[in-house]
A and B are shown apart, each in its own frame.
Chain A
């Protein structure tokens, strides 16, 4: 599958990717490398992983990162309750200790967490490691073995090698700098806010019932709003929410009712200072542009 085909297939799955992004997916897939996506929140990084799992008709395994995430909740854990029961049930039997040890540290007692699960699937899944910047730096070190060798070492059991190489998508909202070692192992793409034409396409694809003129007005309003000095600029997700709100309220034109328009801006502006920055007059001006 060439990058143009990936782009086309993603389009059919309601995900409109830029040429650069489609090429990054193509290269990452062919080189068997993880794809690291950075960019502002709400511009479709997570949605890409979901679309890719549909494209390749495979499972999506998602690992949501947070501070304090460790190997026990991401790679594997022994099922201790089951192990204790197994020891007790074998107590009166004449089995020697080595046999019990081998028994309780076997695959049956292993609880697979997302990363181990991802490399033990017959059909390569899409592994989404979401918002990796929220996890600790130590967690990145765990990831390195898996992302470079596609294997997991378990001291009591041995090394589990990948049955199939998952398609790994790592997303980051850039709330902290990732380590060079992790970046070096990945194919990189920075997802920008979409340009006007692309955003219009996305809006029309996601909301086919919206009128073309209203969609055009919504997109130019949001594009102009992003030029304003805001703390949190609206992403595509916000544009879609706002478009749904506008069409839900029955507005046919943005300049139809400025008060209603202004009150719907809660979908786009997410901080108090941003709300203060975009006054009624500002929103009127933006609607007219």
Chain B
């Protein structure tokens, strides 16, 4: 028997299904009115008294990939049986309330000690940044950040309104610079190397079979695809907002780009970054990443990436950009093992390290040492200029 749902007043099947449609949409499913009509039609062919049949039928209709297939049961139970999602809903409400006044500086910094108070978050974030700056200044390691020229300003200090435009132009250059790779598919091309026999024959029909005009075809160049894996751990906190804007720009330029965030675990955020409003996109991601704990596990996250996502998203036409400082609390050997596996997919691996812009920096972090043999490019990214310079480097690889 069905347990009572949350919508007792609107008890008709249609209205409940429409509510369910909204419920799924609110939880990240790409639903439309089409699903609701399909559900209504589909439910006519099953035994409505059995909830398991409801579940299986709606699952077939609402799911469209592995992630949604995995998530569906929990969401179904939370809606039709009032189980499972209560706590999360409360959190979401609180978060939404806070979002109204959220400051971009605090976006990637989930409130510490479980508090959702925004002001305190901002303060703690600012304090953290100041602390970082003081400690960095004390050892005189930052070279790029002391020059007055904005181009040379360390990214962590650059939070003005100009930021998005600057990063966007850098992103555009990078996206253009990533080489195209030839496809096996042949398409019509006036200067192509091969004769297009199909077209020649079909056009020659008009001339009684004599091939008066020759048509040619060639293999077109296909663009490379960018997959970004961004470290948002504590040590990268000051940079992560900037890089998030950077990867958001990449998704904007090329919709086939893919973005993952990691900390102690990995999360795919591409769908959230497709939102037009950068601030909204980043807000949604900050909610998603709330459950992340401290520390960085690069190896574990790369392993998760290899096991679940790389099969779908990495091939010979992919450039994988890892943005991390290389400080890892996990076993560094796993990093090399996983990068080796990733490399077998014939992709290009680029590691952007913000610490590389520091004077006398050497990749002493053990994970960084382990990773270096598998990298096609190891480049700094602590200033906007570094990001712009990437264009030249990317042309070479």
Contact = CB atoms under 8 A, between A and B. Distances in A.
A2 to B, nearest CB: 8
Interface string B44-77: 0110000011001101110111101110000000
Contacts of A138: 185
Given A19-B52, A20-B59, A67-B184, A175 B46 contact: no
A183 B46 contact: no
Contacts of B362: none
B315 A84 contact: no
Name, among B56, B59, B184, B204, the residue most crowded by chain A CB atoms within 10 Å (CB to CB): B56
A190 B66 contact: yes
Given A27-B61, A184-B64, A83 B205 contact: yes
A187 B30 contact: no
A189 B52 contact: no
A50 to B, nearest CB: 21
Interface in B344-385: none
Contacts of A77: 198
A87 B315 CA distance: 48
Contacts of B32: 184
B105 interface: no
A180 interface: yes
B64 A87 contact: no
Contacts of B34: 184
A276 interface: no
A188 B185 contact: no
Contacts of A190: 63, 66, 69-70
A249 interface: no
Contacts of A88: 208-209
A172 B34 CA distance: 23
Contacts of A2: 45-46
Given A27-B42, A31-B41, A184-B34, A87 B209 contact: yes
A72 interface: yes
A59 interface: no
Contacts of A176: 312-313, 315
B159 interface: no
Contacts of B103: none
A253 interface: no
Interface string B180-222: 0001111000000000001001101100110000000000000
A72 B57 CA distance: 37
A23 interface: yes
A231 B311 CA distance: 11
Nearest to B32: A184
A183 B52 contact: no
A104 B205 contact: yes
Interface residues of B, number: 38
A70 interface: yes
Given A31-B41, A84-B209, A23 B56 contact: yes
B315 A175 contact: yes
Interface residues of A, number: 42
A137 B64 CA distance: 17
A24 B311 CA distance: 25
A11 interface: no
A162 to B, nearest CB: 19
Contacts of B205: 80, 83-84, 87, 104
Given A68-B184, A138-B185, A80 B201 contact: yes
A38 B65 contact: yes
Interface centre among B52, B64, B69 (most CB of A within 10 A): B64
A77 B198 CA distance: 9
B169 interface: no
A133 to B, nearest CB: 8
Nearest to B198: A72
A177 B64 CA distance: 11
Given A3-B46, A68-B186, A80-B201, A87 B53 contact: no
Interface string B323-348: 00000000000000000010000000
Given A19-B52, A27-B42, A30-B42, A187 B61 contact: yes
Contacts of A187: 60-61
A171 B261 CA distance: 29
Contacts of A72: 198
Contact of B30 (A31, A33, A180): A180
Contact of A188 (B63, B70, B209, B315): B63
Contacts of B311: 174-175
Contacts of A20: 56, 59-60
Interface string A101-145: 000100000000000000000000000000000001010000000
B38 interface: yes
A188 B184 contact: no
A24 B198 contact: no
Nearest to A173: B311
Contact of A189 (B53, B60, B184, B202): B60
A45 interface: no
Contacts of A177: 65, 312-313
Interface of A: 2-3, 19-20, 23-24, 26-28, 30-31, 33, 36, 38, 67-68, 70, 72, 77-78, 80, 83-84, 87-88, 91, 104, 136, 138, 174-177, 180, 183-184, 186-190, 231
24 contacts: A3-B53, A19-B52, A23-B53, A26-B45, A27-B42, A31-B42, A33-B38, A38-B66, A77-B198, A80-B201, A80-B202, A80-B205, A84-B205, A84-B209, A88-B208, A176-B312, A180-B30, A180-B64, A183-B65, A188-B65, A188-B68, A189-B60, A190-B63, A190-B70
Closest 7 CB pairs of A and B: A23-B56, A183-B64, A24-B60, A80-B201, A190-B69, A84-B209, A68-B185
Given A19-B56, A78-B202, A84-B205, 4 more contacts: A38-B65, A87-B205, A88-B209, A190-B69
